[in-house]
Structure 1
Amino acid sequence: MVVLLFFCAFAKAQEVPASTLLDTETVTAVSDQDPYEPLRPAKAAFYGAVLPGLGQLYNKDYWKLPLVYGALGSSIYAVSFNSNQSERFRTAFKERLAGRIDEFTTVNEDGTTTEIFSDDALLNGQEQFRKRRDLFILVSAGVYILQIVEANVDAHLSQFDVDDELTLGPAIYNDDMGQTMNYGLTINYKF
């Protein structure tokens, strides 16, 4: 009995319908497709860590390079600006404590001085610019890390097969019973 079932299954497996045969023109060889590189995301992240924007260049996303350098440049400029302003207020406060005329004190024609900022205002200004500087240091570090992560994710996603066999699209169906329209999304996969 088992032998008979084996022969029936074997004979059934040997039958190939004509509709399942493929033409040689429609079959693409594995060597014709882009090779899958498992280390591509790691390389992109490494290049982005070595030099900001290099990971985007490795992924051939040249349009992202001005965005990376614009974000890094503006945040580094903000660090420098706030650091300089904090130092100006700090120097002025030190000069005032030493009894000298600082940049925020004007000398009138009659020899008297007028302070533009009080001592408390100088301390508050120094503290505010220092806090902003520290914040923009964190922003700069965040932009640097973000461009590394973006290069890694982009390299990883660029290896996915995104042909027309898998589609996501809107679906609108008419409900015959209730005379209403039903809306939704459909996922279609073509074999």
Structure 2
Amino acid sequence: MGFLLFCFSLSSVSFAQEIEVEATEQPRSSKPEPDYSLLPKNPKKATILSAILPGAGQVYNGKSWKVPLIYGGLITDIYFINFNNRRYQIFKQALSDFDDELPTDFPSLNRDGLVRNVNYWRKNRDLCYLLLVGIYALNLIDANVDAHLSGFDVSDDIALKFEPHYERFSSNNNSVGLSVKLNF
């Protein structure tokens, strides 16, 4: 018991000691850190990034919320390309079987019906390919335009107002019109 009391008293003494350390402050520079988010972005770099990886230009421009929209559009379009191509291949095979006088999966359709279905599904597939190119091009255009407009001031101090205007030129000649006011 005495040994435990002795150990306890030594441990409390060792924790009660203070260690004084002088803190040396680093001299702060008088220049504040620049805000790089206000600098205009490079449109060429944004376009090249989006061309290599769709959505990378939007991330470079600080508009990451657009990336799911881009990939959602691309994935949805690829799904419909696959969907239309499968239907096209089914009806193309059925037309080939009909021409070879083999039993088809569509006994109620004659040759004209099979040809119409082949053309319909091929046309839809090809339109989806064009839509895919359009979504990709829109991705590039958005990255480029957003980079061009990144240095544009969009604060609340800028306002464009359309107001009705009434003016009296003389006692008999009154004028009514529309006034455009631009405030900076």
**TM-score normalised by length of structure 2:** 0.69
Counterpart residue identity of residue 186, structure 1 = K
Are 2:118 and 1:126 equivalent residues in the alignment? Answer: yes
Q: Evaluate the alpha carbon distance shift between residue 164 and residue 119 of structure 1 in structure 2; reply closer, same or farther with a 3 A threshold.
A: closer
Deviation of 1:33 after TM superposition, in Å, equals 5.6
The answer to whether the aligner puts 1:116 opposite 2:118 as a matched pair is no
1:26-48 Cα shifts (integer Å, max 9, x gaps): xxx9x85646456x211211111
Per the alignment, residue 135 of structure 1 pairs with 127
Q: RMSD value over aligned CA atoms?
A: 2.7
- 1:161 maps to 153
> Which has the larger displacement, 145-154 or 90-99?
90-99
Partner Cα distance (1:81, 1:140) in 2? 14
Task: Note if contact 2:40-2:147 (Cα within 8 Å) is conserved in structure 1.
Answer: no
Alpha-carbon distance in 2 for matches of 1:170, 1:32: 38
Give the equivalent residue in structure 2 for 1:175.
167
Task: Report what 2:104 is aligned to.
Answer: 102
Alignment-mate amino acid for residue 144 of structure 2: N
Q: Among the aligned pairs, what percent are the same residue? A: 34
Q: After TM superposition, what 4+ stretches of structure 1 lie above 6 angstroms from structure 2?
A: none
TM-score (norm 1): 0.66
In structure 1, the gaps of 5 or more residues are 1-28, 105-114
Name 1:55's counterpart in structure 2: 57
Rg larger for: 2
